[in-house]
Amino acid sequence: MIVYRTLLDELGRNDRLFCSDCSEHTLRHALTEAARKGDRHFLICENCRERWTPDPDIDAIARGWVLVFTTGDRMAAVLCAGCAASHSEPAVSLPAIARLIL
């Protein structure tokens, strides 16, 4: 089974999994640290190789990016907003994503 989740939804989902004492283990914390360091390699689209633009407003940056999960909730791919918007079923229409899932 293939599941698509927006990065923004995944941030909210991940935030609810951890208490405030464990917040350094969240996806939001990892993105915040990458933004603080200016790390453009933290998120790279598996299709077009677009890199995210680090910014302190993590929710604004996360809008549009999509994560592709396979069986067992294993993350298989990351798609930028442009590729995600252009392909409603990226696992079927994008060969680069299909190869990662297989």
Residue 55, phi then psi, degrees to nearest 5: -155, 145
Task: Specify the pLDDT at position 40.
Answer: 94
DSSP assigned state of 40: T
Question: Mean pLDDT of residues grouped by 10 in the chain (102 residues)?
Answer: 88 85 84 94 92 90 89 86 81 66 62
Q: Are 45 and 78 in contact (CB under 8 A)?
A: yes
102 vs 98: CA distance, rounded Å? 6
pTM: 0.81
Task: Specify the pLDDT at position 99.
Answer: 67
For 61, the token pair is: 């940056």
Find all residues with CB under 8 Å of 3, minimum gap 6, and list them: 68, 69, 70, 73
